[in-house]
């Protein structure tokens, strides 16, 4: 089991390299071991591309002249159950069987209906020794976004805001006010590159005119989402620059204008967060960071539609202003980022 953990840990490291590039697919890593030596590695690199198992097998074949014999005496470690269906690529379970790899170690099962145990069953039926559940919690956490979308029919929701030491979100005179330092802002931009989309309310868009991009970080720019009930936002804002796909949820019209997609909701008086998240689910958006404003964050908190909250507290005070959202949950971590304190909270387990 110690060796199993070591190689699965490596597979997890590889899988994380796909962060921000494979959605709505899961991140997956694979490691092939022969006589306690890694002979092949791979990970799912981009949506629609070869899966981790394919890349690991190809890596072994391209590295060793006698790869076929070595594979027939090896163990492949995969963070997620090998697929058993034809999608954009052939089934990875078939690949493992074809190369006569005798041992498969799986981190966790895949809840997707087309897989969900079928890959494991196919391997066992072919006479392959299958071990399931090695570093299972770590493998489940790796793909929490994918699992949330599959099981809850909505994206994984990350709430993010900054508050002052005395608990305020912003001044009450609608002016822009920086609470956090440059280190925190750079970290937030790095986070944006890891998620599919970023959401703000109308007031945040109007006051801050945010670009909602990753100019201080790495990775792709997320899709943008804004809630503008009566379409009151002026078109000169950065949100409408056509640089990335942008969803505008409103009650006026459903219409596409280049990269700007206006989506009218059924009822703006009730269940607005639910309607928005279901529409995003239909758009294959797997994760969303909600960055404000306070009223928008409060709606998602009230309806229990969040999976993680990342709260910065900056070393400044306002004495009066807009109160920061109030949230209840389990503190997962608390770290210092420059002069700021970052606390990460998750909902209490049900």
Q: Is the dihedral of CA 328, 331, 332, 338 positive or negative?
A: positive
311 sits in which H/E element: strand 308-313
Q: Tell whether the model's pLDDT for residue 261 goes beyond 70.
A: yes
pLDDT band at 248 (very low <50, low <70, confident <90, very high): very high
For strand 340-346 and strand 308-313, is the pairing parallel, antiparallel, or unpaired? antiparallel
Distance (Å, whole) CA 247 – CA 285? 11
Distance (Å, whole) CA 194 – CA 19? 6
- Look up residue 27 and give its DSSP letter: P
Among residues 126, 148, 170, which one ends one of the domains? 148
pLDDT band at 292 (very low <50, low <70, confident <90, very high): confident
Shared domain for 109 and 200, answered yes or no, is: no
pLDDT of 324 reads 95
Q: Tell whether the model's pLDDT for residue 117 goes beyond 90.
A: no
- Taking only the tens place, the pLDDT of each residue in 305-315 is 999 999 999 99
CATH of the domain at 222: 3.40.430.10
Shared domain for 119 and 165, answered yes or no, is: no
Q: Annotated binding residue at 238?
A: no
Query: Which are the contacts of 36, defined by CB distance < 8 A and separation ≥ 6?
Result: 3
114/20: higher pLDDT: 20
Q: Annotated binding residue at 92?
A: yes
Q: Tell whether the model's pLDDT for residue 15 goes beyond 90.
A: yes
pTM for the whole thing? 0.92
Q: Annotated binding residue at 309?
A: no
Q: Which of these, 246, 181, 239, 187, lies nearest to 218 by C-alpha position?
A: 187
pLDDT band at 175 (very low <50, low <70, confident <90, very high): confident
pLDDT of 114 reads 67
- Look up residue 38 and give its DSSP letter: E
Among residues 84, 114, 148, which one ends one of the domains? 148
Q: Tell whether the model's pLDDT for residue 2 goes beyond 60.
A: no
Shared domain for 126 and 161, answered yes or no, is: no
Domain extent at residue 50: 4-148
pLDDT of 172 reads 85
Distance (Å, whole) CA 195 – CA 134? 26
Among residues 148, 181, 208, which one ends one of the domains? 148
Q: Annotated binding residue at 228?
A: no
Shared domain for 261 and 206, answered yes or no, is: yes
Give the number of domains in the chain. Answer: 2
Shared domain for 82 and 168, answered yes or no, is: no
Q: Do the Cβ atoms of 278 and 265 come closer than 8 Å?
A: no
Q: Which of these, 256, 284, 291, 324, lies nearest to 185 by C-alpha position?
A: 291
pLDDT band at 249 (very low <50, low <70, confident <90, very high): very high
CB-count exposure of residue 164 (10 Å: 0-12, 13-18, 19+): buried
CATH of the domain at 73: 3.40.140.10
- Taking only the tens place, the pLDDT of each residue in 23-40 is 999 999 999 999 999 999
Shared domain for 301 and 209, answered yes or no, is: yes
Active site residues: 53
Which of these ranges, 94-108, 144-158, 173-187, 199-213, has the smallest mean pLDDT?
173-187
- Taking only the tens place, the pLDDT of each residue in 71-108 is 999 999 999 999 886 666 678 999 999 999 999 999 99
pLDDT of 326 reads 95
Shared domain for 292 and 196, answered yes or no, is: yes
């Amino acid at each position: 089991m110690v060796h199993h953990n070591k190689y699965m840990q490596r597979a997890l490291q590889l899988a994380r390299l796909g962060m921000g590039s494979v959605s709505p697919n899961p991140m997956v890593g694979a490691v092939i071991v022969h006589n306690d030596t890694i002979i092949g590695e791979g990970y799912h690199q981009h949506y629609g591309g070869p899966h981790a198992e394919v890349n690991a097998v190809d890596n072994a074949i391209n590295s060793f002249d006698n790869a076929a014999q070595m594979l027939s005496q090896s163990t492949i470690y995969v963070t997620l159950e090998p697929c058993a269906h034809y999608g954009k690529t052939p089934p990875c379970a078939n690949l493992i069987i074809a190369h006569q790899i005798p041992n498969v170690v799986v981190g966790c099962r895949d809840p997707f209906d087309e897989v969900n145990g079928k890959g494991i069953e196919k391997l066992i039926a072919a006479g392959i020794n299958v071990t399931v559940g090695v570093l299972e919690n770590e493998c489940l956490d790796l793909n929490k976004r994918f699992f949330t979308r599959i099981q809850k029919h909505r994206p994984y929701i990350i709430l993010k805001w900054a508050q002052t030491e005395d608990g305020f979100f912003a001044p009450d005179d609608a002016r822009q006010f920086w609470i956090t330092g440059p280190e925190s802002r750079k970290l937030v931009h790095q986070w944006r590159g890891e998620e599919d989309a970023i959401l703000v309310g109308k007031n945040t868009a109007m006051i801050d005119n945010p670009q909602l991009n990753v100019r201080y970080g790495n990775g792709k720019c997320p899709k943008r989402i804004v809630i503008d009930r009566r379409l009151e936002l002026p078109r000169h804002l950065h949100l409408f620059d056509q640089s990335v796909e942008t969803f505008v949820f409103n009650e006026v019209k459903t219409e596409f204008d280049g990269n700007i997609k206006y989506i009218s909701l059924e009822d703006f008086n009730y269940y607005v967060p639910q309607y928005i998240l279901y529409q995003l689910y239909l758009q294959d958006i797997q994760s969303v960071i909600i960055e404000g404003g306070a009223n928008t964050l409060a709606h998602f908190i009230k309806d229990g539609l969040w999976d993680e909250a990342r709260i910065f507290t900056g070393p400044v005070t306002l004495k009066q202003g807009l109160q920061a959202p109030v949230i209840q949950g389990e503190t997962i971590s608390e770290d210092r980022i420059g002069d700021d304190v970052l606390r990460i909270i998750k909902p209490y387990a049900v």
